[in-house]
Amino acid sequence: MTNTPRKTEPFQTIVPTKAMNMFLFPFSFDRKNKEQLVHALEANLFEFFSIQNKHVEKEYYGEQYYVSHDSLDQYFLPYIECILFPDSCEKEGLLRFSKKIDHTVTLQTSSTTVSSNVLSVDVFLCPFEIGVMTIRTEMSHNHYTYDDILEFMNHFRVLEPKLAEEHGSTITYEHHRYSKVQDYIFSQLAPFLNEHIKKEATREQHVGSLPYFIDERMFVLSYVTVNQEQEINSTTLFRTGQLNSYTPDGKPFISAHNHEYIKTYNTKHVYSRWAPETYYVITDHVFSCISKSTDSKTDQLLMNHLFGQHYYNLFLHFFYKIVLLKLSYEYSQLTFHKNSEGIERLIRSITVFSGKYLFLEISSRTEGQEFSELFKKIFHINSLYQEVKETLGTLYQNQEKIAAKRHNYLLLILTIYTVLSGIYGMNLVISKLKGNINWDSMKQFSIFEYIALIVALSGILISISLGVSSLWNLLKDRFKT
């Protein structure tokens, strides 16, 4: 007898009491223009974020919440703090610039209309020419269903609609109406940023897209509180991880029907240490905290953790994934037989990333270590890093082959000149190049004297060019960062 898979648990009509979201938008910028970008951020009232600056603890998270800088300071290990919280924008690390926004936007789809307050925006300038914008929002009212919240998360994260189910949604701010979220971002939140974003010349993509990363969508971090009497079942957790909201005809949607599949999925993606009151869902698309707690202190604590230390924990691994994908992509773009400089640059990048930024342990807290392991698993950090390590070995082999080939060519040239010089001797014509040179006398040269002259002059030119080239490469390596 064939076992029939059990169907999913019934859809829950969950009434949330609070919903806050953060949307992470990665982009690339030119390292040479980093200083100009910093000036542009400061000119547009983005303040450099320093963990010592405690007056901004309540600045960016709405009226009810704050993020404790002391908690951030105690959560991460010391060698991670200097990367996550550099004390000036001249230092290397994840440079954060933040600005309070206070916009009210309305997202309209075929299924619902949702209003949300845009509280603030972060712009991170990271090593390896990676930038990340974070848009922090809070639902304006509490009469929305959980499906409405998922609908907002699912559509607001789409920078440029490409699929049929993504078309038709609009963003309205005051009297401005946008069919693309990216148009709202670059018109209202950071209009100066567009000119600083590095474009991919060979691909027609939305502005800011990375050819080696997820296109047209932002990563979502959310915090939702629900009624205390309601149970949070496996169907709700699965729909959160998949951002399943509505079907085109406005009915609640789930992208799986096999209960065993959903159970297995939740086992991998749901962190249930504080169940059944609080669950964390971690996937490729979203990191969400769903809680039934109504106590104000617990509410503040959960939000403080999620938008504080968990945010930075997630962000660090998000950065790891982008850089590892970038290194793999750059390796695939190399032309080995003529791009030795690119090989050296990539070797340097991999070495710097492995030694300076990638760490196995980032927190001494139990939950910090467990979240870190989950992020590594979900983002495939270990497998991506293993691939990059193998890439490094291949790069060294190719570099050795190119260097050996160059040495062989150089040795061949020097051998030819040594043999010719030995046969003819430079003294055949060198005496005629002293003092005032009689150029007319060269018309009387024999064929062998012409060969000797050509060998002498070309040997001098080649020696000078090799010396200048070596000096240039030495200076370039010394000043290269």
| pLDDT tens, per residue, the chain with 481 residues | 444 445 556 677 777 888 999 999 999 998 888 999 999 999 999 999 999 998 999 999 988 888 999 889 889 998 899 899 998 888 889 999 999 998 999 999 988 899 999 999 999 999 999 999 999 999 877 788 999 999 999 999 998 877 766 677 899 999 899 999 999 999 999 999 988 887 765 444 444 557 666 667 899 999 999 887 778 899 999 999 999 988 888 888 899 989 999 999 999 999 999 989 999 999 999 999 999 877 888 888 999 999 999 999 999 999 999 999 998 888 877 766 556 677 778 888 888 898 889 988 898 889 999 999 999 999 999 999 898 888 877 776 666 666 666 666 666 666 666 655 554 455 555 555 555 655 566 666 667 667 666 766 776 677 667 666 766 765 665 565 4
Given 270, 293, 316, the domain boundary residue is 293
Q: Are residues 182 and 49 in the same domain?
A: yes
Q: Are residues 164 and 276 in the same domain?
A: yes
Q: Are residues 399 and 289 in the same domain?
A: no
Strands 95-108 and 113-126 turn out to be antiparallel
Q: Which amino acid is at 221?
A: L
- Indicate whether 348 belongs to any domain: no
Q: Residue 432: CB partners within 8 Å, gap ≥ 6?
A: 438, 441, 442
- Indicate whether 319 belongs to any domain: no
- Indicate whether 262 belongs to any domain: yes
Q: Are residues 284 and 161 in the same domain?
A: yes
- Indicate whether 339 belongs to any domain: no
Measured CA to CA, the distance from residue 338 to residue 327 in angstroms comes to: 19
In this structure, the number of other CB atoms found within 10 A of the CB of residue 55 comes to 7
Domain of 423 in residue numbering reads as 394-479
Q: Count how many domains the chain has.
A: 2
- Indicate whether 377 belongs to any domain: no
- Indicate whether 328 belongs to any domain: no
Given 230, 265, 293, the domain boundary residue is 293
Q: For residue 348, what pLDDT is reported?
A: 85
Measured CA to CA, the distance from residue 165 to residue 110 in angstroms comes to: 9
Q: For residue 8, what pLDDT is reported?
A: 56
Q: Residue 378: CB partners within 8 Å, gap ≥ 6?
A: 269, 282, 283, 284
- Indicate whether 407 belongs to any domain: yes
Q: For residue 218, what pLDDT is reported?
A: 92
Q: Are residues 250 and 110 in the same domain?
A: yes
Buried b / exposed e over 402-427, threshold 16 CB at 10 Å, is beeeeeeeeeeeeeebeebeeebebe
Given 276, 293, 310, the domain boundary residue is 293
- Indicate whether 145 belongs to any domain: yes
Q: For residue 90, what pLDDT is reported?
A: 86
Angstrom distances, CA of residue 127 to CA of 132, 324, 334, 349: 11, 12, 21, 10
Q: Whole-structure pTM over 0.95, yes or no?
A: no
Q: Are residues 202 and 93 in the same domain?
A: yes
In this structure, the number of other CB atoms found within 10 A of the CB of residue 400 comes to 10
Measured CA to CA, the distance from residue 290 to residue 206 in angstroms comes to: 32
